[in-house]
């Protein structure tokens, strides 16, 4: 299976930004089912992710950063950002991460709470964040996200080698992120699900626990 690339991340950022732009103008202060965040807080989280990843990878971090990236987005006139401005920033920041990954030498590792990730790990985690949280936001309005199956399958294979192979990849990816219950023996994962963001050859062969 082909490895995920910076071009895949740009492609997905474009797709997800377009999907998020289609959400209704109201309701951004409403909670997202299954999360502790409102829709706008979820969007802001999704926008911060690529800045954290790019910072860690660019500096070859070996431990957590000593700073926190908060809600930095403003409109061009200096007023507080709403969803439209934040979605524009989201797309730009994932493109920045794609460029950082592209400029990073092969074999580079950097800190993430789930492990010392390599370039493919950072791309896969960024794609997973986009896929799952775009779906969270669409589902909160009664819609469904239909992402490209080839990309979903590659994210699943890179980050979740323990995921069931006999299930539709999109359902399996949602299960691996604790979003969906699958038939026995898979069940539903608890909130402590994680990623294999370090190289796959370092996976110890274990599977996450069920609730």
Per-residue tokens: 3: 């490895």
Do the beta carbons of residue 12 and residue 149 sit within 8 Å?
no
**Start-to-end CA span in the chain (Å):** 31
Phi and psi based region of residue 205 (left: phi greater than 0; alpha: psi -120 to 50; beta: remaining): left
pLDDT at 209 over 80: no
Structure confidence at residue 1 as a pLDDT band (50, 70, 90): low
Stretch 146-160: mean pLDDT: 97
Residue listed under structure tokens 């691996």:
176
Domains in the chain, please, with CATH?
6-202 (1.20.120.450)
Per-residue tokens: 35: 């999360």
**Helix ranges (DSSP H) in the chain:** 6-21, 39-58, 83-103, 119-139, 149-159, 169-176
**Percentage above 90 pLDDT, the chain:** 75
Stretch 144-166: mean pLDDT: 96
pTM: 0.93
Enumerate the β-bridge partners of residue 115. Answer: 112
Stretch 184-193: mean pLDDT: 86
Q: Among 70-74, 103-107, 131-135, which is the least confidently predicted range?
A: 70-74
Stretch 97-102: mean pLDDT: 98
Do the beta carbons of residue 54 and residue 45 sit within 8 Å?
no
Query: What pLDDT, on the 0 to 100 scale, is given for residue 26?
Result: 84
Q: Among 55-59, 126-130, 147-151, 188-192, which is the least confidently predicted range?
A: 188-192
Greater confidence (157 vs 77) lies with 157
């Amino acid at each position: 299976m082909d490895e995920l690339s910076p071009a895949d991340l740009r492609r997905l950022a474009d797709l997800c930004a377009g999907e998020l732009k289609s959400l209704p103008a109201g309701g951004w202060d409403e909670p997202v089912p299954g999360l502790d965040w409102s829709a706008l807080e979820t969007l802001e989280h999704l926008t911060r992710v690529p800045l954290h990843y790019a910072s860690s990878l660019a500096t070859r971090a070996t431990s957590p950063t000593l700073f926190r990236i908060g809600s930095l987005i403003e409109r061009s006139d200096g007023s507080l950002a709403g969803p439209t401005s934040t979605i524009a920033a989201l797309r730009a920041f994932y493109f920045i991460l794609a460029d950082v990954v592209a400029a990073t030498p092969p074999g580079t590792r950097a800190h993430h709470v789930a492990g010392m990730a390599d370039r493919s790990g950072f791309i896969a985690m960024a794609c997973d964040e986009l896929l799952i949280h775009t779906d969270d936001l669409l589902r909160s309005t009664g819609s469904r996200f239909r992402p490209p199956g080839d990309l979903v399958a590659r994210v699943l294979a890179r980050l979740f080698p323990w995921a069931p192979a006999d299930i539709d990849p999109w359902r399996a990816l949602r299960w691996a992120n604790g979003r969906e219950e699958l038939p026995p023996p898979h069940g539903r994962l608890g909130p402590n699900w994680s990623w294999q963001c370090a190289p796959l050859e370092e996976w110890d062969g274990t599977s996450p626990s069920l609730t």
